[in-house]
């Protein structure tokens, strides 16, 4: 592993608490290296996929945990394995397809083969090539096949959702998610069989943390996203609550749609369009589902790399994969349930117009994150303010607040020792 961690390269965090965030947390390479080590590669679970993506024996999916390429594979016994996509021999990233099916992994360079658990099976000419009574080559006598598996990750699957960690001592997933957040996770993922309906992939030129912050910040939702406000999908005056785990690292925003008209939440809003009417309302034609149990919107952030979206009938997981300080890849996996009827399947697809890289309420998030990163890179000593609703963090019964974001930085400072 790279080890550039030099504390002297990290500036001083000058304010108390986590309500004033210096720009250098988004730009400093030493901070970033430490994040990879402490947040992505140890002590944390990362979302890596859905079981529905690899239903059959031999199905595999290539993805990333942090910056590292990994492969998920469905084993013969039904278990999900995760291995790093680095051949033990010369280090080639041998798996190139995003999805496929094979019963073993083969590195094309020298044809070393591995089983789906990552155990090394075969090394060509391990005993050398016999020709005319002579043996040419061969691995040294002390070379042990058993000592050279692929790097294996620890895997946890909960109700169809797959998490992985390079750290085999990571706490159990349920403890990691925590008793406050777990019921919201299980609300969507209660064991029903999921059906993947497609992918969207973005590369956004901002630090990865800004994406977590964006979803942990309900203050912006009724302001930036005119579309939401206009159709009452999310508004500042709706019945809402925010939940965090004991560490402040994970968060939930749950909100319930109410009648659509003007009112307090729209007064003085430049973005509010009183006269906005759709020619075709199918995109916002929402059918309540019994399992919602109230909230029409639940946005869940699991630190460090997952957002689970239930916005009306549209659902997705959004996976964050950092690429240096100033960019991350963002993969949306939209899904429904296997027992959805045709009407519900269509609603989920139509409402997906609001989300993703062209979405009415998501494309603009990516845009503003880039605007922020532009500034952060110009003057790393500048400091951002996150004091809507106070300076502390904790649960809330409204959304005019940045407290969930402050919770994340309280935790981040502790883990990062910054």
Q: Rank residues 191 and 371 by Cβ distance to other proteins and give the closer one.
A: 371
Q: Rank residues 229 and 244 by Cβ distance to other proteins and give the closer one.
A: 229
Q: How far is the CB of 196 from other proteins (least distance, A)?
A: 7
Measured CA to CA, the distance from residue 410 to residue 412 in angstroms comes to 6
Q: Rank residues 106 and 346 by Cβ distance to other proteins and give the closer one.
A: 346
Sign of CA dihedral 319, 83, 177, 167: negative
Q: How far is the CB of 368 from other proteins (least distance, A)?
A: 7
Q: Rank residues 9 and 358 by Cβ distance to other proteins and give the closer one.
A: 358
Q: How far is the CB of 206 from other proteins (least distance, A)?
A: 9
Q: Rank residues 168 and 277 by Cβ distance to other proteins and give the closer one.
A: 277
- Pair 81, 152: CB distance under 8 Å: yes
Q: Locate 171 and state its tokens.
A: 């706490």
Q: How far is the CB of 89 from other proteins (least distance, A)?
A: 29
- Pair 96, 85: CB distance under 8 Å: no
Q: How far is the CB of 227 from other proteins (least distance, A)?
A: 5
Q: How far is the CB of 148 from other proteins (least distance, A)?
A: 33
Q: How far is the CB of 351 from other proteins (least distance, A)?
A: 10
Which stretches of the chain bind other proteins, using CB under 8 A?
98, 196-205, 224-227, 230, 271, 273, 276, 278-280, 282-283, 329, 334, 345, 349-350, 352-353, 356-360, 363-364, 366-368, 370-371
Terminal CA-to-CA distance of the chain, rounded, Å?
Answer: 21
Q: Rank residues 303 and 332 by Cβ distance to other proteins and give the closer one.
A: 332
Q: How far is the CA of 320 from the CAs of 17, 210, 224, 290, in angstroms? A: 26, 11, 22, 30
Q: How far is the CB of 164 from other proteins (least distance, A)?
A: 22
Measured CA to CA, the distance from residue 14 to residue 172 in angstroms comes to 35
Q: Rank residues 145 and 197 by Cβ distance to other proteins and give the closer one.
A: 197
Measured CA to CA, the distance from residue 202 to residue 208 in angstroms comes to 12
- Beta-bridge mates of residue 333: 199, 317
Judging by DSSP bridges, how do beta strands 383-385 and 20-22 pair with one another? antiparallel
Which residue from 309, 184, 320 is spatially nearest to 244, judged by alpha carbons? 184
- Provide DSSP, 193-219: PEEEEEEEEEEESS-THHHHHHHT-TT
- Pair 338, 193: CB distance under 8 Å: yes
Q: Rank residues 96 and 203 by Cβ distance to other proteins and give the closer one.
A: 203
Q: Half-sphere exposure of residue 192, counting CA atoms within 13 Å on the CB side?
A: 16
């Amino acid at each position: 592993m790279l080890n550039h961690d030099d504390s002297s390269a990290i500036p001083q965090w000058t304010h108390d608490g986590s309500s004033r965030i210096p720009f250098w947390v988004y730009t400093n390479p030493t901070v970033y290296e430490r994040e990879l080590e402490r947040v992505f590669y140890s002590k944390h679970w990362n979302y890596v996929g859905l079981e529905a993506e690899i239903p059959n024996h031999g199905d595999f999916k290539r993805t990333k945990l942090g910056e590292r390429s990994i492969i998920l594979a469905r084993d013969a016994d039904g278990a999900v394995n995760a291995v790093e996509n680095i051949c033990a021999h010369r280090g080639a990233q041998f798996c190139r397809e995003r999805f496929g099916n094979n019963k073993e992994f083969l590195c094309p360079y020298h044809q070393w083969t591995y089983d789906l658990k990552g155990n090394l099976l075969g090394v060509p000419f391990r005993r050398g090539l016999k020709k005319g009574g002579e043996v040419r080559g061969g691995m040294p006598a002390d070379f042990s096949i058993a000592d050279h598996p692929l790097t294996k990750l620890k895997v946890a699957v909960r109700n169809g959702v797959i998490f992985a960690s390079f750290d085999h001592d990571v706490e159990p997933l349920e403890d990691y998610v925590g008793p406050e957040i777990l019921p919201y996770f299980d609300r969507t993922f209660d064991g029903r069989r999921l059906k993947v309906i497609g992918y969207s992939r973005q590369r956004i030129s901002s630090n990865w943390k800004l994406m977590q912050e964006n979803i942990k910040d309900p203050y912006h939702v009724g302001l930036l996203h005119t579309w939401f406000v206009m159709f009452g999908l999310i508004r500042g005056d709706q019945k809402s609550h925010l939940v965090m785990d004991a560490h402040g690292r994970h968060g939930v925003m749950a909100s319930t749609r109410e009648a659509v008209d003007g009112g307090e939440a729209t007064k003085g809003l430049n973005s509010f369009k009183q006269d906005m009417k759709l020619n075709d309302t199918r995109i916002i034609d929402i059918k309540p589902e019994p399992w919602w149990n109230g909230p029409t919107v639940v946005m869940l952030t699991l630190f460090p790399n997952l957002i689970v979206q239930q916005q009306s009938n549209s659902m997705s997981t959004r996976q964050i994969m950092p690429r240096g300080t100033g960019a991350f890849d963002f993969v949306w996996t939209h899904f429904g349930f296997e027992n959805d009827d045709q009407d519900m399947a269509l609603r989920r697809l139509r409402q997906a117009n609001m989300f993703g890289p062209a979405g009415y309420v998501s494309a603009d998030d990516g845009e503003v994150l880039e605007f922020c990163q532009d500034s952060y890179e110009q003057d790393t000593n500048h400091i951002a303010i996150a004091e809507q609703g106070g300076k502390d963090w904790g649960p809330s019964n409204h959304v005019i607040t940045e407290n969930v974001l402050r919770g994340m930085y309280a935790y981040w400072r502790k883990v990062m020792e910054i």
